[in-house]
Chain A
């Protein structure tokens, strides 16, 4: 009498009957149906029970509840909880010989003397912690509970225990930050000549030495990006990107950036009606392959797909089956052919 059993009548007609909206012909139809079986009568009976009891629930006019202060409260509660989930640095993956290298790197870095913001405050001999990522991405926790994921070939430095009025980090390369909220101690990052002050929680900073651009992409919260002068400061909100040109000192704000920039950290590729030309560019950059497309018409096709942690072979296979294309893999070269769109 339950799921899958059809009562050979449209519920719309039965409800019309219950609400007294049926005309004579419709009434007859229902009555005839009722006569057919006990099951039918029981079914109408159950619908009528539901109808009846629903009416007794006493619908009241809704009150408007303000979600903003509630959100603040919830955030505090969640953040308060996250502080206890910190992974101590000693548990981060680091081979023994690298530890020695790091200490050496720290000394070397001090000796070179650069424009790290805290170098003059307490003079030489100040304990600095330096972290290098080598050839793989690396996740580290800071003494304040913040988390930094570094892309390959990147370096971070900070004062031991993150001492000081401000929590200061120097970055070379690329890293994704999850900053622990501390209103009394601003979190400031110096990266290739840009100053990034954290007002929120999650964002990505790209400052490759030798590059003339520093890029900051915010995932959540707010970040203030400052260039060479104070009046060139820009506040970035979630899903916004700021690009500082070190040569001109200017900052450009991009409101709908390509979120695939975060691929290296999250291993997620998202395409929403993206032209295949752009898709191929993205894939070439991320996987380091060269695409050869036999017909320009193929670039007109639009792809909507999400790939999570898929190797290039799977991505190509899926794209090919989506558009009915053929493909050939030759080392770093990928050939694609088929009908355009």
Chain B
């Protein structure tokens, strides 16, 4: 029997509808996130079709246990978190089955065995999950700065917003990511070189 708590009533309408068995609302959710989730899963799966399998598996489980779901953060963050967990489980299982299988796609230096360790995958997937969990504008700004190395002024111009907004969003982005990665900070080695360069050029 569906019995809503206060928590449920505060959830977005779409989620409430899904919990009540509304398959149209569920279908909408599926189509909105499917491609982004597959791209995310692709980084931690052997190929595109496993990535798709994993995402479908996540949605299947979501529907099956819809009544028990409690979304504390955002829907987006919940979905990416769930896909991440499934990917990590698959990797762990396959590592147990075959110690020599290269389950993880090569994103880093191939000579370094350590690059494929489960800890690295956990960290990297957590970082990507955190980036994906951010609201759209913040995510765009962060990506333009961190991956395309654009200056704040350029970002402000590209997105049609003020530099102040870019500054504020970047602050929020990094603060958020730091919170998400709190448990992993011990694993991260300081990338001193990059930092020192910037420090020196600032004088």
Give me the interface of A with B, judged by CB distance under 8 Å: 2, 10-16, 18-22, 27, 45-60, 62-65, 67-68, 70-71, 73-74, 77-78, 81, 201-202, 219-221, 238-239, 266, 268, 306, 308
From A62, which residue of chain B is reached at the shortest CB distance?
B39
**Cα A286 to Cα B78 with chains together (Å):** 37
Residue of B nearest to A266 (CB): B20
Instruction: Pick the residue among B31, B60, B172, B182 that contacts A67 (CB under 8 A).
Output: B31
**In the complex, are the beta carbons of A268 and B20 less than 8 A apart?**
yes
Chain B proximity of A71: nearest CB distance (Å): 6
Beta-carbon contact of A70 and B123 below 8 Å: no
Given contacts A13-B171, A20-B202, A53-B127, contact A67 B146 (CB under 8 A): no
**Cα A188 to Cα B107 with chains together (Å):** 55
B30:A55 contact, CB within 8 angstroms: no
Asked if B145 is at the interface (CB within 8 A of a chain A CB), the reply is: yes
Q: How far is the CB of B39 from chain A (nearest CB, A)?
A: 4
Least distance between B109 CB and chain A CB atoms (Å) = 10
A57 touches B127 (CB 8 A): yes
Interfacial residues of chain B within 38-66, with CB under 8 A of chain A in the complex: 38-39, 42-43, 48, 52, 55-56, 59-60, 63-64
Report the stretch among B86-94, B96-104, B190-198 that lies at the interface: B190-198
| Residue B79 at the chain A interface, CB threshold 8 Å | no
Interface size on B, residues (CB 8 A): 58
Contact status B178-A63, CB under 8 Å? no
Complex-state Cα separation, A14 to B151, whole angstroms: 15
How many cross-chain pairs have Cβ atoms below 8 Å apart between A and B?
Answer: 147
CB of B23 within 8 Å of the partner chain: yes
7 smallest A-B Cβ distances: which pairs? A12-B171, A52-B191, A11-B171, A67-B34, A65-B38, A59-B147, A238-B24
Cβ contact within 8 Å between A11 and B172: yes
CA distance A19 to B199 in the complex (A): 10
B35 within 8 Å of A by Cβ? yes
Q: With A58-B107, A67-B35 in contact, do A52 and B24 touch (Cβ < 8 Å)? A: no
Contact A74 B56 (CB under 8 A): yes
Given contacts A48-B190, A63-B42, A239-B24, contact A74 B171 (CB under 8 A): no
Closest residue to B201 on the A side, CB-wise? Answer: A20
Give the complex CA separation of A59 and B108 in angstroms. Answer: 11
Q: How far is the CA of A48 from the CA of B127 in the complex (A)?
A: 14
Of the candidates A15, A54, A60, A220, which one forms a contact with B22 in the assembled complex, judged by CB atoms under 8 Å apart? A220
A180–B162 Cα distance when bound, in Å, is 54
* Chain B neighbourhood of A19, CB < 8 A: 145, 152, 170, 198
**B106-148 Cβ-contact flags toward A at 8 Å (1 or 0):** 0110000000000000011001100100000000000101110
Q: Which of A15, A48, A71 contacts B27 (CB 8 A)?
A: A71
A77 B60 Cβ-Cβ under 8 A: yes
Q: Tell me the minimal C-beta distance from B191 to chain A in angstroms.
A: 3
Whether A12 contacts B167 by the Cβ 8 Å rule is yes
A57/B107 in contact, CB under 8 A = yes
Q: B191–A53 contact, CB under 8 A?
A: yes
CA distance A52 to B185 in the complex (A): 12
| B27 cross-chain contacts in A, Cβ below 8 A | 71, 220
Please tell me if the beta carbons of B202 and A27 are within 8 angstroms of each other in the complex.
yes
Closest B residue to A3 using CB positions? B179
CB nearest neighbor in A for B31:
A67
> Shortest distance in angstroms between A239's beta carbon and chain B's nearest beta carbon?
7
**A74: which of B35, B60, B146, B178 is its contact (CB, 8 Å)?**
B60
Q: Are the C-beta atoms of A65 and B170 separated by less than 8 Å?
A: no
10 contacts between A and B (CB under 8 A): A15-B167, A46-B185, A51-B174, A56-B124, A56-B191, A63-B38, A65-B34, A65-B48, A71-B27, A201-B23
Check B177 against A54 for contact (C-beta < 8 Å). Answer: yes
Given A56-B108, A59-B147, answer yes or no on A50-B63 (Cβ-Cβ < 8 Å).
no
Query: A65 contacts B143, CB within 8 Å?
Result: no
Q: Given A21-B151, A77-B60, A239-B24, are A15 and B188 neighbors across the interface (CB < 8 Å)? A: no
Note all chain A residues with C-beta closer than 8 A to B52. Answer: 65, 70
- For B194, the closest partner residue in chain A by CB is A52
Contacts of A10 in B (CB 8 A): 171
- With A16-B152, A47-B178, A220-B22 as known contacts, state yes or no: A67 contacts B124, CB within 8 Å: no
Question: Which of B34, B168, B173, B202 has its CB near the most chain A CB atoms (within 10 A)?
Answer: B202
Return chain B residues, CB-CB under 8 Å to A308. 4, 9
User: In the bound complex, do residue A45 and residue B190 qualify as a contact, i.e. CB atoms below 8 Å apart?
Assistant: yes
Q: Chain B residues near A58 (CB, 8 Å)?
A: 107-108
8 more CB-based (< 8 A) A-B contacts, given A11-B175, A15-B173, A71-B27: A13-B167, A51-B174, A54-B177, A56-B124, A57-B127, A59-B143, A63-B38, A220-B27
